[in-house]
Structure 1
Amino acid sequence: MRVRPADLHRQRQKRKRFRQNVPLLILFVPIIAYFVIFKYVPMGGLVIAFKDYSFRDGILGSPWVGFDNFRLLFSNPMMLNIIRNTLVISLLSIVIGFPFPIILAILLNEVRKAVFKKLVQSFVYIPHFLNWVIIGGIIVTLFAQQGGTINMLLQKITGSVYPFLYKELSWLSIFIGSGIWKSVGWGAIIYLAALAGVSPELYEAAAIDGASKWRQMWHITLPGIRPTIVLVLILSMGNVMEVGFDQVYVLQNSAVLNVSEVISTWNYKSGLRGNNMFSVGTALGFFESLIGLILVVTANRIARRYGESIW
């Protein structure tokens, strides 16, 4: 069978393009290896969720129990409360915290004094690099009932103190506020990069037409970074069932367990601190990942209707 000249030229172009991209493909090999070794291979451990796992018998030797671990999970009233806490804390963090990096990025984008802009950026970026243990110490120093800075001021003004860290509502407020403080600066970097791609000519044209700063933000800035906002929101939906262990564990105390016990802390206490409920913990983790996948796919389908999906 004779090969047509056009097909032969196309094949040569493919081979040439492949040879040109060999260095990039070699650089990509460690990334592929990382995801295969640390992300995909561990997925095989999900079989523990369907077994009565023990260290002595191992994964292959442990008896198969099917969906018994899942039935045990969802028949336990405490577990339903833990799932509820995880959802509530995560959704509150997204709903309340999501706009802050966008607002900060827009405000920084409007700053014309380079020195002031760099100074503000440095201050808001620093918390991201602090460990939650350090931040937990700062929060305790501020809000402790005995000796806390805020309670000392409150006692001088009102003559009494308030147990901020031992009341459910105030604990949730402190939890969400500390999370925003730690992540807002780092999150703003993404939106600042997106804002760099918005043409200055659009702002000049809007200013000539008499548009105020608010009008420019609403009609130029926000539409210009809308794809980035949608992308970050979709990825955030995948983490709805994943509340950071470090933050919760550092701020948690027995007085607020009713609202602060989440999936990650329960898994740690039950699986690693003596109860050895590895199978139930794996089943809970499997459920957590499944819900995250469903939320990401759903959010992407909704975004696709407005032409902003990520796949």
Structure 2
Amino acid sequence: MRLRLNGVTAGWTDVPAVRGVDVDVADGTLTALVGPNGSGKSTLLKTVYRALRPIGGDLVLGGDDLLGLSRREAARRVGVLGQDQHGGFDLTAEQAVALGRTPHLGPFGVMGPDDREAVASALSRTGCGELARRPLSTLSGGERQRVLLARALAQRPRLLVLDEPTNHLDPRHQFEVLELVAGMGTTVVAALHTLDLAACYADTVVAMLGGRVVAAGPPTEVFAPEVLHEVFGVDGTLVDDPVTGRPRLITRPLGPEKGHRSGAGGVLEGRDRAGGVR
């Protein structure tokens, strides 16, 4: 399901954390939001899953005004794995995942065969089957993260919003999670801190700085030297993985002759931004 953000401005105070952002996410693709801490990634995602109402702009999901949907309909279409999801520690992993079916249940809240199959499938796909009977309070941070992803998958959404989905995960599970979400055929928008993972798995990368989009497009375009210098203050080289053929990003500190400037603008002002994003 296609997602379009047009001129989105949002924030928690009188000073917006996100200003005039346009993003066009094609159906069935994975778009990675990247940028330093405080660049506006999480704030932008919160407007998409309606935890924060934007000050201005439009959000269109599959041709419908996302903000105009009922809570139930929005929950059916949009699945979320946020950074700050807590609570429910008295539930088992299976019970927590079953909460993802809530928007689809009838007036009595009784799960049917399709709901139980969705829960079992989500537990299996995220490698959480063996955790099903364990209380969340007994799980590690990485295990809980996978259970929360399973809950979002059990929802069977048309759009999946992930805020740092690899947080707390060891390298193996980082790869497994991104392999899973990238291969689902579902539209995915994810904030990622690890640039190499964004280069490897994203169809489109959106680089943010100071609440604005600085560059957007395929990883091979966005992770150009000038973008890496301006946004992240690093040098980098894209190479093809000799096994998978996917792009991989090797980063290193800037040389002494190069500086890093914070805030939007700088060397990228006036840059042509690809992919319908600016």
Specify which structure has the higher proportion of helix: 1
Specify which structure has the higher proportion of strand: 2
Which protein has the larger Cα radius of gyration, Structure 1 or Structure 2? Answer: 1
Q: TM-score, normalised by structure 2?
A: 0.24
Q: TM-score, normalised by structure 1?
A: 0.22
